[in-house]
Amino acid sequence: MSGVNLLNFDADQLAAFVGSLGEKPFRARQLLRWIHRRGARDFDAMSDLAKSLRSKLSQHAHIGCPGVLSDVIAADGTRKWLLDVGLGNAIEAVFIPEEDRGTLCMSTQAGCAVNCVFCSTGRQGFNRNLTTAEIVGQLWMAEHMLRAGAGGADTNRDRAISNVVLMGMGEPLQNYDAVLPALRLMLDDNAYGLSRRRVTLSTSGMVPLIDRLAVDCPVALAVSLHASNDALRDTLVPLNKKYPLRELLAACSRYLRTAPRDFITFEYVMLDGINDSDRHAAELVALVADVPCKFNLIPFNPFPQSGFERSSGQRIRAFAQHLADAGIVTTTRRTRGDDIDAACGQLAGDIRDRTRVGDRTARRVIPLTASAH
């Protein structure tokens, strides 16, 4: 592949690149539509661009997303791609179809440096930041594969993906510079045209960057709380030592001044005997009293040697009721795609644990299961 990867550019960056080829800025708009709305990869197919521009593009640029190592569909329709980002690293993207929406859960880093103790991505350690092309490439690939599957490969409408959540592998705010152009593309009418309310960034609590996001590109915000006091959160989310709860909750309140939604979603992983008692629930209610919020309880997803267990269904219901009784809208995440490990870094984590860099690729290519199509 020669030249720059155009999936790395948001609208302004693409306009600058097209300008550097001696072309008018509106050409960038056309190009953006071809790439992101139509899913084009081949410049020759871009019929309303002058031949001279197409030939310059072929010389200086390409359109490329991470290669698909596996593509599996669970019994409930959840679809998971394992993608090759080189040097033995794989990331994942998961599509979750629901009646009224289709949500793509995307990764932002290979591994993660935050090292939350209950997270298999964190346990893998940090490999590297993904580029904008590798982030937006997940959406580009998934949208156009899903549309092709639905028989509508070439339409400008009828998007398969209506919502995006940055809740896959990695801490998005620790890869801010690559994530920001990806977010802008998601919102751009010439690209994916999603409203800010339908794009959710989930963070473990990088306080200064929450403030920056509020200025640069306020999308819906989810914050991984997981504990009701600092002593407990210090042990679960090590970043808490740097940005303790008081500072984190203050950042959440500030964010709501520009946020597209009038609440923060707090994620709370339910760990048996660790953070799931009625006392924790009561402490949480007091903790978030000043922040308009909703809670999303996530039943812990076990992985080998995690040392944790999922809270019982009964305990989760009692915890949810406690929050609801205090007037907090609380949902419990349904476990989706259980049969394909489609949650929170499970598959890529599993593979990295088992194999060495040299022989990883062969093991990673998991054949499509019978349930796939």
| List of residues contacting ligand SAH (CB under 6 A) | 116, 118-120, 167, 171, 202-204, 224, 267, 269, 298, 300-301, 344
Q: Which amino acid is at 78?
A: T
Under rule CB under 6 A, residue 190 binds ligand SF4? no
User: How many residues in the shown chain lie near ligand SF4 by CB under 6 A?
Assistant: 11
Tokens encoding 236 = 């679960």
User: Which among 296, 315, 209, 214 is positioned nearest to 258, based on CA atoms?
Assistant: 214
Residues sharing a CB contact under 8 Å with residue 191, sequence separation 6 or more, in sequence order: 11, 32, 33, 35, 36, 37, 185
- As measured in angstroms, the least distance from the Cβ of 120 to ligand SF4 is 8
- The rounded distance, in Å, linking the Cα atoms of 116 and 54 is 47
Tokens encoding 210 = 């929450």
Which of the listed partners (ligand SAH, ligand SF4, none) does 115 bind, with a CB threshold of 5 to 8 Å by partner kind? ligand SF4
CB 203 within 8 A of CB 210: yes
Under rule CB under 6 A, residue 92 binds ligand SF4? no
Instruction: Verify whether residue 92 is a known catalytic residue.
Output: yes
CB 212 within 8 A of CB 177: no
Q: Supply angle C-alpha 214, 222, 288, rounded to 5.
A: 95
Options 49-57, 75-83, 108-116, 297-305: segment touching ligand SF4 (CB under 6 A) = 108-116
Instruction: Verify whether residue 105 is a known catalytic residue.
Output: no
Q: Token match 């802008």: residue? A: 184
Q: Which of 92, 134, 143, 267 is catalytic?
A: 92
Under rule CB under 6 A, residue 171 binds ligand SF4? yes
List the end-to-end C-alpha distance of the chain, in Å, as a whole number. Answer: 31
Among 116, 259, 271, 274, binds ligand SF4 (CB under 6 A): 116
Among 115, 163, 330, 346, binds ligand SF4 (CB under 6 A): 115
Which of the listed partners (ligand SAH, ligand SF4, none) does 84 bind, with a CB threshold of 5 to 8 Å by partner kind? none
List residues binding ligand SF4 (CB under 6 A). Answer: 112, 114-116, 119, 121-122, 170-171, 204, 224
